Amino acid sequence: MSPCEVVIVGHGAAGLCAAVSAAQAALERGFNAHITVIERAPEAEHGGNSCSTPSYLRMPSVAGTAPGFVADVLRESAGRADAAYFQRLASDAGPTMAWLQDHGVAFHTLVYYLAAGPARIQPVGGGAAIVEALPAHAKRLRVVFQYGRAAHALQLNGSGAISGVGLDDGSVIKADRAILASGGFAGNADMLAEHFGPAARHMQPISPGTRANTGAGIQMALSIGAQRAGDWTGMHAEPIDPRSNGPAPVVLVYPYGIVVDQDGQRFFDEGAGLVHETWEAFARHIQMALPGQRAYAILDSSLLDIPDHGRAIRSEVGPIRADSITELAALPTCKPP
């Protein structure tokens, strides 16, 4: 009997979890399946967002989410969130962490940047730990990996079932089942502009792997009749240091000072909430509303007295320093372009 051909699009954490769990399920049930993971990036750059982010998880421990997690989501979304979806997320969170631990991913509990808010857990080594641990399990289960292969379309047979995955080079990989785990569209300037407005076209990706998130998987699904879901005008955005070339160079110390635009005007209530409650609106305002999409956080030396304040600054580029506000304003790097 010919094997069931399963093609997974995307080699980040989601794609790897899908590959390993599918291969394990097939082995346990005596099901003949051949699983292939395809990734548009070259092997040295695989991993997508997963590889470059700290991957904090909103969980007090690996046992599961906090009791009020679902209620918090519904409140923050003004009731628009799908309650059943988030209830499923909450119920599966603990077992998912246990599964990852069984596959070599360790977790620890850290202070979330400098926030006094709820505790977070994190893979030891960040998101890269997941991407590094799972391929060995997948290969032992005979999962095949193909790099530098960009999926373009899902092909259907006469009865409307998946029959293949078309690639940008014109070739087709036979598929009886396809799993799309290729991320969102943060690496697609046209889709960013379409859903967030023209100012989003030049948004700087938060990590190198984000550039591979071209929205191809979303377009592939929509083209065969998939329904849209969720809020397409929402995003996860964080303020980053535009001078940095590093992954996720977030700057999250702004509640300890003031933030100004390139003309020196304040534009945001820095103390409106804990940093994880305000950074989305803060980052979006910088990108969508400020001239030059540039802001400055101005802080005094008392920041340096905060223990481990460097946790909230992931940029490798040091701050601009001066002995007074007047001297700071006179520096070339602080003058409007």
Q: In this predicted model, what pLDDT tens digit does every residue of 194-207 receive, in sequence order?
A: 999 998 998 888 77
Task: List the one residue out of 64, 121, 130 whose CA is nearest residue 103.
Answer: 130
Alpha-carbon radius of gyration of the chain: 22
User: CA-to-CA distance for 238 and 53, rounded, in angstroms?
Assistant: 12
Per-residue pLDDT, 269:
95
Choose from 103-117, 137-151, 321-335 the range with maximum mean pLDDT.
137-151
Per-residue pLDDT, 334:
67
State the average pLDDT for the chain: 91
The tokens describing 167, both together, are 């690639």
Global pTM value? 0.89
Average pLDDT over residues 175-193: 94
Indicate if the pLDDT at residue 241 is higher than 90: yes
User: CA-to-CA distance for 255 and 253, rounded, in angstroms?
Assistant: 6
What percentage of the chain exceeds 70 in pLDDT?
98
Task: List the one residue out of 294, 298, 209 whose CA is nearest residue 247.
Answer: 209
The tokens describing 33, both together, are 């399946």
Average pLDDT over residues 98-124: 87
Average pLDDT over residues 226-244: 88
User: CA-to-CA distance for 65 and 96, rounded, in angstroms?
Assistant: 11
Indicate if the pLDDT at residue 337 is higher than 60: no
Task: List the one residue out of 194, 276, 206, 268 whose CA is nearest residue 233.
Answer: 194
Average pLDDT over residues 189-195: 94
Domains and CATH numbers, the chain: 4-223 (3.50.50.60), 254-334 (no CATH)
Per-residue pLDDT, 335:
61
User: CA-to-CA distance for 94 and 141, rounded, in angstroms?
Assistant: 24
